[in-house]
Amino acid sequence: MKIGVYGGSFDPVHNGHIAMIRSALKSGFIDCVIVIPSVRNSFKLYTNKLPPPYRFYMMKETVEGMGLKNVFVSDIEYGIDGVSYTSVVLAKLTSDEYIIPFLTDNGIKRKKAEEHHEFFWIMGSDTLGTFENWYKPGEILNYASLLAAVRPGDDTDVEKAKASIKKNLGGKVEIFRLDGIECSSSQITSSGDYSQVPEPTLEFIKRHALYTENTKLEGVSDEARKQFFEAAVWMYRYLGGKRLLHTLNVGYLSAHLAGLYGCDKDKALIAGALHDCAKELPIEQQLEMAKRYSGDLFTEKKIIHSSAGATFVKEDLGIEDKDILDAICYHTTGRGNMTVLEKIVYLADKIEPARNYMDLGPIRETAEHDLDEAVRMTADAVRNKFKSQGREMHPVTIQMMKDLGMI
C-alpha cells in the first residue's frame, strides 16, 4: 500500500488542507492519507494557538464530518517524547512494531515484511526548497519519498529543488498538482474571516468557543501556557475526547474569570484544565487516590475523581501548589470558606462553552460580573437536580450554601 503522510498544526483546519489531501489522493501516487496534527512541532513549540488535543479532534471531526474516504487522523505524536521532528515521526510510523490503526482496521497487515508499504511525506512545493535544511533530511528520505504539491503555473523552482534533493540526498521526489484555494490558518484567525473553514471545523470551533479572547490567554505567563499544553498532552492518555476537551475548556474559562475577579490567571488555567484528569481512571484507583488527599471525606463514586485528581496531578505532574490542588479537589462539591480560585473552577466546570445540559445563559451572563451570585445560581440548579433525583447533598456542599446565604 502507498501511504501519504500529512503533518501540520491545523490551527485551524481550512479548505487549503482539505484540497491538499484530496489532490494528493487524486494524484495516483498514494492509496490513503494519514494526517498527523502536530504535538510538539519544532517550528511552533508551544506557540500554536491551541493545545494539541483541540487540533487533533478538530481534524478528526472534520474528516468524519466531510466523509473523506481513505483518510485517517493519527495520534502517533502523543507517544513521542520531546520535539516531534519529521524524521522521528516517520521512524516510528514506518517501524514494524508500530500498529497503524487505519491499516489494521481495514484488514491490512501492519508489518512491512508481511505486506510492503511505501510512505510519502506530503508537503507544499514552497517548503521543498528548504527541505535540505530540515532536521535530518537524509533520514526522512530513508523512510519516505517526498510528495510535493504544486499549483498550476507555480512550478518555477520545483524542478531545481527536486534535482538538488536527488543529487545531495539521493531521495525520491514526486510532484502532484494542487487544485484549490490558497489559505493560511494564521490569516484566518487574525482576520476573523472563517469563510475558508469547512463546516464541521466551524461547528467544532463554535462549540468550544475557540479562537476567542479567552483562548488567547492574555496575562497568562509563558510558563503556565507551556504547562497547559503539556497537561493537555498528558491527559490525552487518560481521558476520552469529549471529557478532555471539557476539562481544557474549563481551563480557558477559569483563566478568563480569574482576570475578572483579581485571581491568579496561571493557577486558574492549570487548576481548571486539570480538574477532571482522574475521572476515567479505574474506580478503585480513584478511591485510593482520593483517600490519600482527603481521607474519608469523599467516598461517593461520582465525587471521588475530584480529590483523586489532586493526588494524580501532585504525583504525576509534580504540582505542589495547595491552591491549585484544593481547587481541583472541591470542584464538584464546593465547600465552606471557598477561595476565589475554588469558586471559579467550581463555576467554570458547570458552564464552560460546550456544556448544554440546561439553559446556562443567565448563569453565564451573571458570571461576567458577580461571581458569588453565579455560584449561587449554579448551586441552586444542582440542589434542584439532587432533589428531583432524591439524592442527599454532601455536607461540604451544604456548608458552601450556608456561606453563600442560600440556607
Which residues sit at the interface with Fe ion, rule CB under 5 A?
A: 276, 349
Nearer to Fe ion, 149 or 253 (CB): 253
Least Å distance between CB 404 and Fe ion? 20
Least Å distance between CB 243 and Fe ion? 8
Q: What is the 3-state secondary structure (H, E, C) of the chain?
A: CEEEEEEECCCCCCHHHHHHHHHHHHCCCCCEEEEEECCCCCCCCCCCCCCHHHHHHHHHHHHHHCCCCCEEECCHHHHCCCCCCHHHHHHHHHCCCCCCHHHHHCCCCCCCCCCCCEEEEEEEHHHHCCHHHCCCHHHHHHHCEEEEEECCCCCCCHHHHHHHHHHHHCCCEEEEECCCCCCCHHHHHHHCCCCCCCHHHHHHHHHCCCCCHHHHCCCCCHHHHHHHHHHHHHHHCCCCHHHHHHHHHHHHHHHHHHHHCCCCHHHHHHHHHHCCCCCCCCHHHHHHHHHHHHCCCCCCCCCHHHHHHHHHHHHHHCCCCHHHHHHHHCCCCCCCCCCHHHHHHHHHHHHCCCCCCCCCHHHHHHHCCCHHHHHHHHHHHHHHHHHHHCCCCCHHHHHHHHHCCCC
Least Å distance between CB 303 and Fe ion? 9
Nearer to Fe ion, 264 or 276 (CB): 276
Least Å distance between CB 6 and Fe ion? 33
- In 10 A of CB 63, how many CB atoms? 21
Least Å distance between CB 289 and Fe ion? 14
Nearer to Fe ion, 122 or 329 (CB): 329
Q: Considering just the CA atoms, what is the radius of gyration of the chain in Å?
A: 24
Nearer to Fe ion, 136 or 291 (CB): 291
Least Å distance between CB 344 and Fe ion? 13
Nearer to Fe ion, 72 or 346 (CB): 346
Least Å distance between CB 193 and Fe ion? 33
Nearer to Fe ion, 327 or 401 (CB): 327
Nearer to Fe ion, 163 or 358 (CB): 358
Q: Which conformational region is residue 175 in: left (phi greater than 0), alpha (psi within -120 to 50 degrees), or beta?
A: beta
Least Å distance between CB 216 and Fe ion? 23
Nearer to Fe ion, 131 or 298 (CB): 298
- Shortest CA distance to 4 belongs to which of 27, 29, 24, 33? 33
Least Å distance between CB 328 and Fe ion? 9
Nearer to Fe ion, 276 or 326 (CB): 276
Least Å distance between CB 276 and Fe ion? 4
Residue 361 sits at the vertex; the CA angle it makes with 356 and 365, to the nearest 5 degrees, is 135
Nearer to Fe ion, 200 or 353 (CB): 353
Do the Cβ atoms of 41 and 9 come closer than 8 Å? yes
Nearer to Fe ion, 43 or 357 (CB): 357
For 217, 259, 268, 304, 328, the CA distances from 223, given in Å and listed in that order, are 12, 17, 14, 29, 20
Least Å distance between CB 350 and Fe ion? 8
